Structure 1
């Protein structure tokens, strides 16, 4: 076999998850160009593959050696969006097994036809790379399946506290918790309730004073409990506020009113989550449903941010049994971690679709909960708080920096939840101090959410090679609330994606499921339009083009995960992660992008979701 044929054969058949086996790495440079580098060991070492563009690969793909290996499926169409700058469009894409083996014109693709090859004529439908969830919580989504959904429209039915009370009464009547267990709910949003406040223990006591009730706020950073739950958790007027958290009190007293913030939620919520972990088989079933849910939105790589190591073990077991159909990147929370174990598991890479991607820190709270840590006071404080208010950190900065330094020097990526600009400062200081006096390595430390990011912090993200993962979904869901909390000057620059793009900062965008559903077309619509619930454009200068929003959900997501050689574009040799959409999102009216249906999701060459409309 000639060197040229050997290279082609490796491209077509032998690429795997390991970066060491990849022929080409494609990375979007700061200038938007493509950098290619060879990683073939012992193969044609005197030849350089760098000049080989996709046009060359397309020509090679028609030679008899590859024609003898028919494709499993060939997609033909006029709306194939590759997201590969070397070949942004194509007439055909072919896959075999779990790899893309051809991208190019229609005529040359005919060489890959075999008796068993399935031909897909796309027509007006679009083919795009598999979508990448850059931040979310799939295990939490799995566990919430059995909880009462107390969300407001468009996610749930709740408009006021009476609606919540009725939902809880209905659940107690139809499916009450077993003796000693709690009634759990999620998704309530004080910013959208008619009363504009959190339900308190007094409100929940009207549902039951015997059954413990706990509701998780939509942000996941606050919650509320009835008297029975507070008593069961041992929380009373003598309970002090924990480090990085608050038990809100009845005015003029020390008696908890049921509403809890940040670290204070752990006392109530975490025991219930851990209790549900005891039924492993039930959890596995919930996980399968959650993966299907993500796949229905075109997601082929899912994140589990703030994983616990027990869940890591369960998902690795499921993966070993072949039960994980999409890829899952798990990011354990930095709490009582065995760092050596995390390093070992990370080094293993994907095992049956599951891998460790880094370690997560939570540096502050949420802007919709008014617990994001800022340098300038809020324009409107949380209920019961007087005077200038900037919220607070949820970590001890010195301890956090020590942990971050250790992980970074072990080559373990760190993911730092930072909504407010004070938290973002802390994240950036930790990275800068860790590498002080050293050549900056390719660390790709992620700032999760990065909502109240100042212009100077965008510049600093560029200097430090940090990756903000913007919570772009907020512009629609809580944009109006942010205007009240921060004023227009700050609110209009929430999640400054366009500024990051113009300054050459690598960034991604996300939904943060289960806070909001993992609806990627709606996320794209929000990033492009930045329209609030009330129809206000929340900073026109921070809107992305449809292409740049799609890039942030594909190529940029792959870059964030150090997987740009494997995913993110329809490129020969990459993993066969593809999505069929009902319409081309780059040609659709920007206002209608959210309505484009996902018709089929293909992960590792297999269909894992099929909408009947797309069959």
Structure 2
């Protein structure tokens, strides 16, 4: 069946008897012809939706909505597909998603083909050959998304492994978590890292038996090398990232995206795209509170300006659970690598830094999103929130826990008491569930990673996220993981932590809309709200849970405007994901721009 985004033919059986209506009640467009899930408990499903001036005019049965049809009303035929409110990004990095799209794809199946060190090397070599002009001009090879947990060798590649790709050019690869990576010998040389180098606070330089850097760099040690090697993202590069990332989010049905660790330059890049070519979706930015307080204070707003606004503050306490850099309250179960006995990870900031940042946000009434993965990090966050609330009360700023991968049940209770909104990462059950079971927390505690069951037992709302570019912003993978908790190997982690499909959909729509103070505007299909919709290939409440990840985003509608439409017959889930896949010239120009040494403020470097 040919799927038309805007069918202008009359639905004879539905609208032939429609009556004239006064002009202010005439719809610009009427959506009908398939299941419509409103995510409104008062009216969960409807047959048709009328829209005027980018907002929802009416919802209801077909004969009710027929009264809003006039001579100029366009009819959008769903052709049996399912319409829902557009997805709201509970946590991701829209602008930095461009890095994922414009480097060698080192992801493991199903999103890539890297399964061992050899395939990683060949992928980098092939990418360099296919992008020879870009490599020649940038004099660098970069890859994103390797995961030691998915490599046959169950270890990080080393500088020697990357030297086999190139000894002359710097080669740097970024772990899928984004919290660590590997540099070849040439890249280490350029960065000035030697056997006598000391790691910066909050970072680790891994070494071989002779004390020489083995190429693996963690947290701030990695960030302080990555940014100079990328030449510092200048305005042109950031603008290209913003363009690529926002289009990638729209491709997966997100009508509101988040730039979850931002800076003034990143916000200005978003604004530049918005004022020139226009952004396809809304983007809420949260600049780093340790580095951008003046900018935050001058720019926080609940109102979008050309689809961009600054929502509040971002703070990061610890690192990556799968990379063993998250701060636990106990030793890691069986960490892979050279770790001392009793190793439990580490914090990236001090308790004084944390308390000062939380106090500042509470004193000013600003929302704060806090990256906290391990139980030890949550202990720090809970303590800081308790002090801030005793000192400043509750300013109604809806503080957000980001990730909470490893949580004790008493910590979930504390977050409820403190009014914290959990934005959790159930996709970990798919991507790293087996790794957590076997290495990070062990088979018992792995059952409770991303504990949505504990959260719902306490009647708490929560959001689910993808944290792209850590993972693709694949909304259907998010949905499937939240409902099934099935791992790559087929195991199910914590059946008691699973939730039903409708709860999982709320965690992608109305609840993250509440998280962003936008529940009156977005997150459900109700009269007066913005006409943000996503159209799926099938009804997620009607298919088998195990098939949820196979659903396709066919159309994304922002403010009654189609901003993404899948090509006929193309499976959108696990194909090559670069927005520039059909524009190699643009990709080449962009890569060239990245590495030209353009200056930009960088919080990681400024802090160290």
CA distance in 2, matches of 1:227, 1:499: 46
Structure 2 partner of 1:30: none
Q: Which residue of 1 aligns with 2:150?
A: 192
* Alignment match, 1:134: 90
TM-score (norm 2): 0.87
Equivalent runs, 1:401-550 vs 2, <5 Å = 401-484=355-438, 485-550=440-505
Residues 498, 543 of structure 1: 8 Å contact kept: yes
Closer/same/farther in 2, CA of residues 67 and 85 from structure 1, 3 Å limit: farther
Task: Give the 3 Å change call, closer, same or farther, for CA 323–398 of structure 1 in structure 2.
Answer: same
Taking structure 1 as reference, are residues 173 and 92 closer, same or farther at Cα in structure 2, changes over 3 Å only?
closer
Q: Which secondary structure state, in structure 1, belongs to the residue aligned with residue 211 of structure 2?
A: coil
- Could you tell me which residue of structure 1 aligns to residue 219 of structure 2? 262
Aligned equivalents of 2:23, 2:358: Cα separation in 1: 50
Select the residue among 21, 33, 37 that pairs with 1:81.
Answer: 37
Corresponding residue for residue 225 of structure 1: 183
Report the Cα offset of residue 87 of structure 1: 1.8
User: 1:222, 1:421 → 2: CA distance?
Assistant: 20
Q: 1:468 & 1:396 partners in 2: Cα distance? A: 22
Query: Which residue does 2:15 correspond to in 1?
Result: none
* 1:366 to 2:325 alignment: no
Match of 2:172 in 1: 214
Unaligned runs of 5+ in 2: 1-17, 571-608
Deviates more, 1:115-124 or 1:498-507: 115-124
Asked whether the 8 Å contact 1:98–1:604 carries over to 2, the reply is yes
Go from structure 1 to structure 2 and tell me whether the alpha carbon gap of 1:515 and 1:452 turns closer, same or farther (over 3 Å shift).
Answer: same
How far off its partner does 1:347 sit? Answer: 2.6
**1:389 matched residue in structure 2:** 343
SS at match of 2:369: strand
Deviation at 1:335, TM superposition (A): 3.8
Q: Deviations over 1:311-370 (max 9, x none)?
A: 111111221235112001111123421x23312211363110011112111111111111
Instruction: Count residues in correspondence.
Output: 550
Deviations 1:473-501 (A, max 9, x none): 00011000000121122100000112101
Kept after mapping to 2: 8 A contact 1:143/1:283: no
Q: Tell me the TM-score normalised to structure 1 length.
A: 0.86
1:202 aligns with 2:166: no
User: 2:513 aligned to 546, 554, 558, which one?
Assistant: 558
1:380 aligns with 2:338: no
Report the CA distance shift for 1:267/1:316 in structure 2 as closer, same or farther (over 3 A): same
User: What's the secondary structure of 1:355's corresponding residue?
Assistant: strand
Which position in structure 2 is the counterpart of 1:336? 291
1:11 aligns with none
For 1:577, the equivalent position in structure 2 comes to 532
Please tell me whether the aligned partners of residues 349 and 355 of structure 1 are also in contact (alpha carbons under 8 angstroms): yes
Cα pair 1:68 1:112 within 8 Å, conserved? no
Q: Within 2, Cα distance between the matches of 1:146 and 1:492?
A: 35
Tell me, in whole angstroms, the C-alpha distance in 1 between the residues paired with 2:102 and 2:314.
Answer: 26
Aligned 1:66-215 pairs, distance under 5 A = 68-77=24-33, 79-176=35-132, 177-178=135-136, 181-215=139-173
Q: CA deviation at 1:239?
A: 0.8
SS state at 2:315 partner: strand
Following superposition, the deviation at residue 613 of structure 1 comes to 4.2
